[in-house]
C-alpha cells in the first residue's frame, strides 16, 4: 500500500506523447476536419488529431495528442467553428478540488515530520545520557570504581582530627562483624561541616578509597528538576542502587541545597520540589538498617540552616568538623601538592606555611599552581621561594598594576605603609611584619603584610589593641609628616571600627559596658525588622567606648612614630628606592631586632573558647586605597 502511494505521488505514470502547436495551426486543423475532440480548461486546450500525419510540425515530430493556448483577443466564433466541423467539446473546472491524499499530506505532514524529529532527538539524548525523557526519575549519581581508588588518606593532610573520626567508618565497612558482635551499630549518616575548600569532598573520597567499597557521589542540586516529583524519585533510585551494592557509601555534596529548614521561607503549601526531595531523604534514611552496610556522607558549609529532622539521631548521627589547617597542617598540605613540582633549594615549606595562616587546602593548592606557572613563565628550571612569594601576593591582593603615580602620591603611599610596618615592629604584641610594598595591586596602592609566628586560638585584649594601633599607623604617619590626612586609610578605618566595636559588644572588653555579649544575631534579623538587643542609652555607651578605644590606640600610634621619626624616614626612603622590602630588609633598615620565634613547629592546643571571627588567622593586609573617582 505504501509503495503504491509513493509511486503514484512521486512517480506518476507517463501519459501519451503530446506536442504543442500554435493557435492558428489549431484553427487550420479544425477547418481541415483533422481534430477529433478537445478538452478545454480555461484558455488551455488539449485535443486529439484524427490522423497522425496531421500533427507534423516544423520539427518533423508527430503525435496524435496536442495542446495549445487560446489568445485573449480571440473572438467568440471558436465554438461555432468547432461545432460546424463536428469536434467533440469537453470542458473542465479550472480550479478543481484538492484530492483527499493531498489534503492529508498538507494537514498531517508537518506534524508527522515534527514527531519523527522528536523521536530522533530522544534517541540521541537517550544514547548520550543513558536515559532521556523516561529516565528523569533515575539517579544521576556517579559511581567510582572501588578497585581503583583515586584518593586515600595519604592524599589528605592538615585535617587529622577529621581523619581520625572517619577511620571508624572505614573500619566498620571493612570489618562489620567487629562492631555488630556487641550489639553496636555504626552511624547511618556522617555530616562533614567546614568552610569552603577545607577538603570535605576530598575526605569523603578518601574514605571510599580506604574502605574499597562502591562510592556513589552526587550534588544535592542534581536532585532538583523542573518536573515536580523527580527529586524524590531520584532519591529512591539512589538508595536502591546503594542497597544493591552494599556495603557502599552515598556522598551528597552541598546538602544545604535541599536540606534547608522547612520552617524558614515560603513553602507553597508544603508541596514544592525541594521539600518533597528532603522528605524522601528523611524517609529513606529511616527505612534502612545500618547493618545493611550503607553509610550516607554529606558535606555542607552551612550546617546552621539545615532542617532539624536531618540532624536528629538516626539520620546524621555524627557531625565531623573540618577545620582550616594549622601551621603544621599547611606544611603537610604544601608537601602533598608539591610532590610533582621541582623545588629550588631555597624553598622553605615550613616558612611558607607560617606566612599563610587562614588559607585552606584548596587555596594552598592554588598557591602552588600559581608559583609553578610563575616559574614557567620566567623559564626557571625549578620553582623558587621568590615565585611562591609573588604568587602569595597575587592570591591575596591580585596582580600588580602598571600605573604611574605622581612623585607626591608615591611618597605619601610610602610614608603610609612605612607607618604600618614600623608600628608592627615597635608594638610587642603585634604580629611580625613579613613584607611591605608600594607596588599597586588590585585596588591597593601599597600593602603591608603581617602574619603571626604561630596560629592563634585565643586573642587577648593587648593583641587586639596592637592590631588597631598597627592599622592606624598609616593615618598617623600622614598626619605626623604632612599635617593632613587623605582617603587612603579607608580600609584601615573599616578594620579599626570593626575590631573596636566587637571588643565592646562581643567580648566584654569595656569596663563601662561590662562582661556582656550585646552582639546582634544575624540569624534572628529579618529584612523588615531589625531590633537591637539593648536600649538607646546602652547604644550611646557602646559608641563612646568604641571611640575611646580608637582614640587611645591612635594616640599611642602617633606617640611611637614621633619617638622613632628617624626610623620612619629611613624606611620610607628605602621603600621609595626598592619599592618592596622583605622582613630581613625591613629589620636592617630600621635597626630593630626580630620578634622571638618558637624553636619548633608545635601546633597550638585548641581552647574551648572559639577564635573571634573578625581578627581570624588571615594575614593582616594594610591597604592604601586611592581617592574615589
Residue 49's Cβ-count burial label (10 Å; 0-12, 13-18, 19+) is: buried
- Rounded CA-CA distance 172/256 in Å is 27
Do the Cβ atoms of 329 and 321 come closer than 8 Å? no
Tell me the CA distances in angstroms from 287 to 78, 236, 453, one per residue in order.
96, 11, 51
- Rounded CA-CA distance 55/61 in Å is 8
Instruction: Give the helix ranges, DSSP H, for 130-255.
Output: 160-174, 176-180, 200-211, 230-244
At residue 89, the 3 state secondary structure works out as strand
Catalytic site includes residue 490? no
Q: Decide the pairing of beta strands 35-41 and 433-437.
A: unpaired
- Rounded CA-CA distance 544/511 in Å is 12
Q: Which of 165, 273, 417, 478 is catalytic?
A: 417
Q: What share of the chain is helix, strand, coil (3-state, %, to 5)?
A: 50, 15, 40
> Reading across the β-sheet that carries 447-450, which strands appear in turn?
580-582, 433-437, 447-450, 620-623
Provide the phi-psi class of 508: left if phi over 0, else alpha when psi is between -120 and 50, else beta: left
- Rounded CA-CA distance 309/285 in Å is 11
In the structure grid, which three cell numbers stand for residue 488, read together? Answer: 587612603
- Rounded CA-CA distance 367/351 in Å is 14
> Reading across the β-sheet that carries 248-253, which strands appear in turn?
142-144, 215-219, 248-253, 294-300, 189-194, 318-322
> Residues near 510 by Cβ (< 8 Å), separated by ≥ 6?
503, 504, 542, 545, 549
Do the Cβ atoms of 49 and 35 come closer than 8 Å? yes
Q: Number of helices (H) and strands (E), helices first, in the chain?
A: 22, 15
Residues involved in catalysis: 417
Amino acid at each position: 500500500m505504501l509503495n503504491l502511494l509513493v509511486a503514484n505521488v512521486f512517480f506518476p505514470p507517463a501519459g501519451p506523447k503530446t506536442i504543442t502547436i500554435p493557435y492558428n495551426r489549431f484553427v487550420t486543423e479544425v477547418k481541415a476536419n483533422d481534430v477529433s475532440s478537445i478538452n478545454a480548461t480555461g484558455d488551455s486546450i488539449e485535443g486529439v488529431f484524427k490522423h497522425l500525419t496531421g500533427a507534423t510540425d516544423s520539427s518533423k515530430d508527430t503525435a496524435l495528442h496536442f495542446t495549445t493556448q487560446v489568445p485573449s483577443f480571440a473572438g467568440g466564433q471558436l465554438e461555432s467553428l468547432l461545432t460546424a466541423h463536428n469536434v467533440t467539446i469537453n470542458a473542465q473546472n479550472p480550479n478543481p478540488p484538492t484530492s483527499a491524499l493531498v489534503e492529508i499530506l498538507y494537514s498531517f505532514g508537518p506534524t508527522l515530520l515534527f514527531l519523527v524529529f522528536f523521536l530522533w532527538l530522544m534517541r540521541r539524548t537517550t544514547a548520550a545520557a543513558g536515559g532521556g525523557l523516561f529516565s528523569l526519575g533515575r539517579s544521576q549519581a556517579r559511581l567510582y570504581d572501588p578497585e581503583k581508588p583515586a584518593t586515600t588518606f595519604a592524599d589528605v593532610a592538615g585535617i587529622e582530627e577529621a581523619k581520625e573520626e572517619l577511620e571508624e567508618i572505614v573500619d566498620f565497612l571493612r570489618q562489620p562483624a567487629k562492631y555488630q558482635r556487641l550489639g553496636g551499630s555504626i552511624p547511618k549518616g556522617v555530616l562533614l561541616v567546614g568552610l569552603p575548600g577545607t577538603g570535605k569532598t576530598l575526605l569523603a573520597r578518601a574514605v571510599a578509597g580506604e574502605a574499597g567499597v562502591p562510592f556513589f557521589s552526587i550534588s544535592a542540586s542534581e536532585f532538583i528538576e523542573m518536573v515536580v516529583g523527580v527529586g524524590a524519585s531520584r532519591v529512591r533510585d539512589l538508595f536502591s542502587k546503594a542497597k544493591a551494592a552494599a556495603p557502599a557509601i552515598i556522598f551528597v555534596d552541598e546538602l544545604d541545597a535541599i536540606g534547608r529548614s522547612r520552617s524558614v521561607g515560603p513553602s507553597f503549601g508544603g508541596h514544592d520540589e525541594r521539600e518533597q526531595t528532603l522528605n524522601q531523604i528523611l524517609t529513606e534514611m529511616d527505612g534502612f538498617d545500618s547493618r545493611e552496610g550503607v553509610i550516607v556522607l554529606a558535606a555542607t558549609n552551612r550546617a546552621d540552616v539545615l532542617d532539624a529532622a536531618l540532624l536528629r539521631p538516626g539520620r546524621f548521627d555524627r557531625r565531623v568538623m573540618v577545620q582550616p589547617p594549622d601551621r603544621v597542617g599547611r606544611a603537610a598540605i604544601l608537601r602533598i601538592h608539591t610532590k610533582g613540582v621541582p623545588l629550588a633549594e631555597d624553598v622553605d615549606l615550613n616558612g611558607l606555611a607560617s606566612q599563610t595562616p587562614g588559607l585552606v587546602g584548596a587555596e594552598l593548592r592554588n598557591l602552588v599552581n600559581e608559583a609553578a606557572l610563575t616559574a614557567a613563565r620566567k623559564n626557571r628550571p625549578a620553582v623558587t621561594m621568590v615565585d611562591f612569594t609573588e604568587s602569595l601576593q597575587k592570591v591575596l591582593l591580585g596582580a600588580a598594576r602598571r600605573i604611574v603615580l605622581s612623585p607626591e602620591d608615591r611618597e605619601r603611599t610610602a610614608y603610609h605603609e612605612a607607618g604600618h610596618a614600623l608600628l608592627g615592629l615597635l608594638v610587642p604584641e603585634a604580629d611580625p611584619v613579613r613584607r611591605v610594598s608600594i607596588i599597586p595591586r588590585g585596588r591597593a596602592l601599597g600593602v603591608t603584610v603581617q602574619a603571626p609566628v604561630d596560629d592563634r586560638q585565643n586573642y587577648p585584649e593587648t593583641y587586639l589593641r596592637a592590631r588597631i594601633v598597627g592599622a592606624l599607623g598609616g593615618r598617623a604617619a600622614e598626619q605626623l609628616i604632612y599635617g593632613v590626612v587623605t582617603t587612603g586609610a579607608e580600609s584601615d578605618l573599616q578594620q579599626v571600627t570593626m575590631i573596636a566595636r566587637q571588643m565592646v559588644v562581643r567580648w566584654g572588653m569595656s569596663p563601662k559596658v561590662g562582661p556582656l555579649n550585646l552582639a546582634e544575631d544575624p540569624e534572628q534579623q529579618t529584612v523588615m525588622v531589625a531590633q537591637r538587643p539593648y536600649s538607646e542609652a546602652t547604644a550611646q555607651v557602646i559608641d563612646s567606648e568604641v571611640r575611646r578605644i580608637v582614640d587611645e590606640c591612635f594616640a599611642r600610634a602617633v606617640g611611637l612614630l614621633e619617638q622613632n621619626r628617624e626610623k620612619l624616614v629611613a624606611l620610607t626612603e628605602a621603600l621609595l628606592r626598592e619599592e618592596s622590602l622583605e622582613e630581613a630588609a625591613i629589620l636592617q633598615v630600621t635597626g630593630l631586632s626580630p620578634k622571638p620565634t618558637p624553636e619548633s613547629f608545635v601546633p597550638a592546643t585548641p581552647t574551648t573558647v572559639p577564635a573571634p571571627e573578625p581578627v581570624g588567622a588571615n594575614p593582616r593586609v594594610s591597604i592604601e586605597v586611592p581617592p574615589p573617582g
